[in-house]
Amino acid sequence: MYNFTYHVPTRINFGKGAISHLSELAESGSKALLVYGGGSIKRNGIYDEALRILSEAGVQVTELAGVEPNPRIQTVRRGVDLCRQCGLQMVLAIGGGSTIDAAKVIAAGALYDGDPWDLVLDGSKANKALPIYSVLTLSATGSEMDKFAVITDMSKNEKWGTGAPCMVPTMSVLDPTYTFTVSRRQTAAGTADMMSHTFENYFTREQDVDVQKEFCEGLLRTMVKYGPIALQHPDDYAARANLMWAASNAINGLVGNGSANAWCVHPMEHELSAFYDITHGEGLAILTPAWMEHVLSVDTVADFARYGHRVWGIQGLDDYAVAHEAISKTREFFFVTMGMPATLREVGITDEKNFEVMAQKAADGCKGSYVPLTKDDIIQIFRAAL
């Protein structure tokens, strides 16, 4: 197990009605930037409720609406300008990962002397930020409780993850009822995303990390159990609550610290989003089984067999047979049970023309992964997913 420091200072207020905790923003001042997306929070009433609580707490808001899925640096720059011009003291995101990620880089950008894109390219330049608060409305990314943000510049076909301790939210509201209105498509994509975060941590060369691996297996079984229930019954509280808390714990360091190698399916997916603006969780679902098949070998078969036994309950003594069945089950879960697109073609990527450049860009991030991947490996995985 590697050495690590585990420090997650985010106060989590979990459960029905937890939005009342927005009154705690008053501890950071009286002027907030409210960041949100395309309007779902107005349709489901969260916006009105938040404004009422903030007003009672004496917090005035300036709004930045319209954060895109795959949030753009141009929107982040607008948020930074608003913070500077209006002397705002904190940033409140209400939405999914895209909104929270944008809010994080805005909060750091407001106190950075330069263009916020610098912070996307190099997280170590973000050494202070306005306090960040979030109300989560989509279970997926874990952004509500981690230090990461992923920002896109479509004009350059670049999408990069960054991260800094100052970008960890101060407080996040996790009310599972707020995810009742999430569409089937985004529910499935969110489930695939949280599963992928768990896989990225779970498949590791570290052999003595039982705590992390057992936690991962529990998280994966929970996601496999409740993802389909949330799809069938969007207002099932138990399903939404378990997915929400599982997603936060898949990426907040609990299962990654001390154990994880560099991630690799994520860098590959970020290239797909950077070039084709696809939904992150759908890209991950398409790539994951192709990646699993690509890295299955005599060196990794025991890990995949363990995954089959522990997560899918597959019986059998032959490791290869169990591993192959586990990969089939993963495929079936995403593409049949959760009804997700199964190929790159289905999300509009119909030819190989960008594979070379995308693979080149992803390769750096995949060098230190569970099974190190070269540019050629990545091209093969993209082809298998096509």
Give contact residues for ligand NZQ (rule: CB under 6 A). Answer: 37-41, 44, 69-70, 95-99, 101, 137-138, 140-143, 146, 148-150, 178-179, 181-182, 186, 190, 193, 251, 266, 280-281
Residue number, 182 or 373, with CB nearest to ligand NZQ:
182
The distance of closest approach from Cβ of residue 162 to ligand NZQ in the complex, given in angstroms and rounded to an integer, is: 9
Residues between 148 and 207 that touch Zn ion (CB under 5 A) = 193
The distance of closest approach from Cβ of residue 76 to ligand NZQ in the complex, given in angstroms and rounded to an integer, is: 12
In a 3-state reduction of DSSP, which class is residue 80?
A: helix
Residues between 317 and 376 that touch Zn ion (CB under 5 A) = none
- Kindly state the helix (H) or strand (E) to which residue 108 belongs, with its residue range: helix 97-109
**55 HSE (CA, 13 A, CB side):** 6
Maximum Cα–Cα distance across the chain:
65
Distance, in Å, from the CA atom of 248 to the CA atom of 93, rounded to the nearest integer, reads 16
Residue number, 142 or 169, with CB nearest to Zn ion:
142
The distance of closest approach from Cβ of residue 142 to Zn ion in the complex, given in angstroms and rounded to an integer, is: 8
The distance of closest approach from Cβ of residue 305 to ligand NZQ in the complex, given in angstroms and rounded to an integer, is: 27
Q: Of all residues in this chain, which one has the CB nearest to ligand NZQ in the complex? A: 37
Distance of CA 317 to the CA centre of its chain: 35
Residue number, 69 or 365, with CB nearest to ligand NZQ:
69
Residue 369 tokens, joined: 């992964």
Residue number, 271 or 319, with CB nearest to ligand NZQ:
271
Residue number, 223 or 296, with CB nearest to ligand NZQ:
223
The binder of 96, among Zn ion, ligand NZQ, none, by C-beta within 5 to 8 A per type, is: ligand NZQ
The distance of closest approach from Cβ of residue 130 to ligand NZQ in the complex, given in angstroms and rounded to an integer, is: 17
Of 119, 124, 75, 123, nearest to 95 by C-alpha is 75
* 331-354 CB burial, b ≥16 within 10 A, e <16: bebbbeebebbbebeebebeeeeb
The distance of closest approach from Cβ of residue 193 to Zn ion in the complex, given in angstroms and rounded to an integer, is: 4
Count of other CB atoms within 10 angstroms of residue 137: 26
271 binds Zn ion (CB under 5 A): no
| Residues facing 141 on adjacent strands | none
CB 194 within 8 A of CB 223: yes
The binder of 146, among ligand NZQ, Zn ion, none, by C-beta within 5 to 8 A per type, is: ligand NZQ
Of 178, 180, 195, 175, nearest to 229 by C-alpha is 180
Residues found near Zn ion in the complex (CB under 5 A): 193
